[in-house]
Amino acid sequence: MTIQTNSDTLEDFMDIKQIIKEPVKEENLEEKLEMVIDGLKLLMEKRRHRVEKLRLEIEQIEADNKNLEETVSSLLSNF
């Protein structure tokens, strides 16, 4: 079982601080907005994959627990 604790933030995908510091000009606004939206899409996709992976791990752990419970019950009934 592996649990990753690294944080997934928008800053992992783009330099938000740099985007915010630059003066906002109307012609740059659309470009900056697109960059932020693209970064958010990447972040959401990465988190979605991580949630899927964690769900699969949970299913595997539950199956392992069920098998272990059956083994313990079997051992106890023979004892």
Query: 49: which 2 tokens?
Result: 């994959």
Is residue 13 a contact partner of residue 43, using CB atoms and an 8 Å limit? Answer: yes
- Token pair belonging to 38: 């693209």
Model pLDDT for residues 32-76, shown as the tens digit of each residue: 888 889 999 999 999 999 999 999 999 999 999 999 999 999 999
**Are the C-beta atoms of residues 19 and 36 closer than 8 Å to each other?**
yes
pLDDT of residue 3: 43
